[in-house]
Amino acid sequence: MSGLGGYLWLEIRRTLRNRQFIIFTLGFPIGFYLLFTMLYGGQNLGSGAGALSFNAFYMVSMAAYGALGATMNSNGTRIASERAAGWSKQLRATPLPPLAYVLGKVGMAICVTVPAVVLVLLAGVLVHHVRLAGLEWVQLLLGLWLGAIPFATLGVLLGYLLDSESAQSGVMIAYFALSILGGLWFPYQVMPKAMQLIARLLPSYHYAAIGWNAVTGQPVGWTHVWVLLLYTVIFSFLAMRRYQRDEAREYA
Range(s) of the domain holding residue 69: 4-250
Long-range pairs for 30-39 at CB < 8 Å and ≥24 separation? Answer: 30/62, 30/66, 30/119, 30/120, 30/123, 32/62, 32/65, 33/58, 33/59, 33/62, 33/120, 33/123, 33/124, 34/123, 34/127, 37/127, 37/128
Q: Please state, in angstroms and rounded to a whole number, the distance separating the CA atoms of residues 115 and 7.
A: 20
Q: What's 202's DSSP letter? A: S
Residue 1 pLDDT greater than 50, yes or no: no
Q: What is the pLDDT of residues 216-233, one digit of tens each?
A: 888 889 999 999 999 999
3-state secondary structure of 149: helix
User: Taking all residues of the chain, what is their mean pLDDT, rounded to a whole number?
Assistant: 83
Q: What pTM, to 2 d.p., does this model score?
A: 0.86
H/E stretch holding 53 reads: strand 52-53
Report the domain count for the chain. Answer: 1
- Would you place residue 16 in the very low, low, confident or very high pLDDT band (cuts 50, 70, 90)? low
Q: Please state, in angstroms and rounded to a whole number, the distance separating the CA atoms of residues 37 and 124.
A: 9
Q: What angle do CA 14, 19, 22 make, to 5 degrees?
A: 90
Q: What is the pLDDT of residues 171-190, one digit of tens each?
A: 999 999 999 999 999 888 88
